[in-house]
């Protein structure tokens, strides 16, 4: 077999493999994890999800009748106060997250490292808001939850923080606006476990629908639903 035939076969195999991977990925992002919902509790609590097309953030009430982020937080007190109505949470690769102020300032080499190097340390982003923020060029959706599902999501978020032996969350530094903070997080970032995977896991904990593969932001926004109805107020 000459070199041309070997090269030709290699290209055919590579092209076939790439096509097959693309088909599998497309099926995974289009297929929902849940096809039906059994909502047994009143839809009492509203949480919000925002996306700029690349990254997703959760916005949850600072305080409800069943959970209060201003209490028993052991280390988050500096990021929000009781007057803030919402707390923003996000998760991502620690170095990339803390060193990238905006998407137009992304370092391509850092992005490649975050995606293709394994066991990358992670960080939680925390910021309080007096009102629900409406960021330019970001989509905003909401989902209403029953008490059990709401508390399951709050527990998931809380357990995403690394803690010291005294149970305190470990602050790494301030956010770019100096009114937010980064904290050491559990888990590792990679192509198979992205910032959007964390958001999807939080939603799954609360029995909210997500795509089979949730590494991308847009499919999560598309599949967002449960047994309650919710419309973002204009």
Same domain for 127 and 206? yes
Q: How much is the mean pLDDT over the chain?
A: 81
Q: What is the reported pLDDT for 13?
A: 47
DSSP notation for 134-199? --TT-EEEEEEE-HHHHHHHHHHHHHTB-B-TTS-B-EEEE-TTSSSEEEEBSS-BBTTB-HHHHH
Nearest-5° Cα angle at 167, 178 to 87: 40
Question: Mean per-residue pLDDT for 180-208?
Answer: 93
Q: What is the reported pLDDT for 95?
A: 86
CB 33 within 8 A of CB 221: no
Same domain for 116 and 210? yes
Residue 203 included in any domain: yes
Classify residue 212 by burial, with Cβ atoms within 10 Å: 0-12, 13-18, 19+.
middle
Residue 36 included in any domain: no
CA distances to 48, 65, 136, 195 from 211, in Å: 18, 31, 26, 15
Query: Which two structure tokens, joined as six digits, stand for 231?
Result: 């419309």
Q: What is the reported pLDDT for 139?
A: 93
Same domain for 61 and 21? no
Residue 100 included in any domain: yes
Of the listed ranges 40-49, 114-123, 153-162, the one predicted with least confidence: 114-123
CA distances to 59, 116, 143, 160, 226 from 73, in Å: 16, 33, 24, 13, 28
Of the listed ranges 34-38, 135-139, 207-211, the one predicted with least confidence: 34-38
Chain position carrying tokens 């949480």: 47
Residue 230 included in any domain: no
Residue 70 included in any domain: yes
Same domain for 9 and 86? no
As a whole number of angstroms, the distance between CA 16 and CA 10 comes to 10
Show the domain range for 17.
1-30
CB 224 within 8 A of CB 209: yes
Residue 231 included in any domain: no
- pLDDT of 212-226, one tens digit each? 787 889 999 998 989
Residue 62 included in any domain: yes
Same domain for 175 and 102? yes
Same domain for 122 and 20? no
Phi, psi of 47 (to 5 degrees): -120, 155
Same domain for 205 and 99? yes
pLDDT category at 20 given cuts 50, 70, 90 is very low
User: 161 or 167, which is more confident?
Assistant: 161
User: 192 or 37, which is more confident?
Assistant: 192
Question: Mean per-residue pLDDT for 167-176?
Answer: 88
Q: Which of 67, 43, 49, 228 is nearest to 132 (CA)?
A: 49
Of the listed ranges 18-22, 121-125, 182-186, the one predicted with least confidence: 18-22
Domain count, the chain: 2
Same domain for 122 and 9? no
Q: Which of 220, 181, 184, 178 is nearest to 202 (CA)?
A: 220
Q: Which of 111, 77, 127, 82 is nearest to 189 (CA)?
A: 111
pLDDT category at 31 given cuts 50, 70, 90 is low
Question: Mean per-residue pLDDT for 60-70?
Answer: 92
Same domain for 164 and 94? yes
Query: Which two structure tokens, joined as six digits, stand for 14?
Result: 């590579």
Report the half-sphere exposure of 147 (CA within 13 A, side-chain side).
6
Same domain for 83 and 190? yes
- Going 198 to 199 to 205 to 209, the CA torsion angle's sign is negative
- pLDDT at residue 2 greater than cutoff 70: no
Q: Which of 214, 213, 205, 211 is nearest to 223 (CA)?
A: 211
pLDDT category at 99 given cuts 50, 70, 90 is confident
Same domain for 131 and 195? yes
For the chain, what percent of residues have pLDDT higher than 90? 44
Question: Mean per-residue pLDDT for 67-82?
Answer: 74
Same domain for 113 and 20? no
Residue 1 included in any domain: yes
């Amino acid at each position: 077999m000459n070199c041309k035939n070997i090269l030709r076969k290699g290209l055919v195999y590579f092209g076939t493999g790439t096509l097959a991977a693309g088909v599998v990925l497309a099926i995974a992002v289009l297929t929902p994890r849940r096809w039906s919902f059994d909502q047994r509790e009143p839809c009492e609590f509203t949480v919000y999800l925002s996306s700029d097309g690349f990254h997703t953030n959760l916005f949850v009430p600072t305080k409800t009748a069943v959970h209060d982020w201003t209490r028993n937080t052991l280390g988050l007190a500096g990021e929000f106060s009781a007057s803030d109505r919402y707390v923003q949470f996000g998760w991502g690769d620690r170095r990339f997250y803390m060193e990238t102020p905006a998407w137009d300032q992304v370092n391509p080499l850092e992005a490649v490292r975050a995606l293709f190097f394994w066991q990358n340390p992670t960080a939680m982003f925390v910021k309080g808001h007096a009102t629900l923020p409406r960021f330019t060029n970001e989509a905003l959706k909401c989902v209403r939850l029953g008490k059990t599902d709401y508390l399951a999501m709050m527990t998931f978020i809380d357990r995403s923080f690394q803690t010291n032996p005294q149970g305190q969350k470990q602050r790494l530094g301030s956010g770019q606006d100096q009114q937010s903070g980064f904290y050491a997080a559990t888990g590792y970032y990679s192509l198979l476990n992205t910032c959007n995977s964390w958001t999807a896991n939080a939603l799954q904990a609360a029995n909210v629908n997500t795509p089979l593969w949730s590494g991308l932001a847009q499919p999560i926004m598309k599949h967002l639903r449960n047994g309650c109805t919710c419309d973002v107020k204009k």
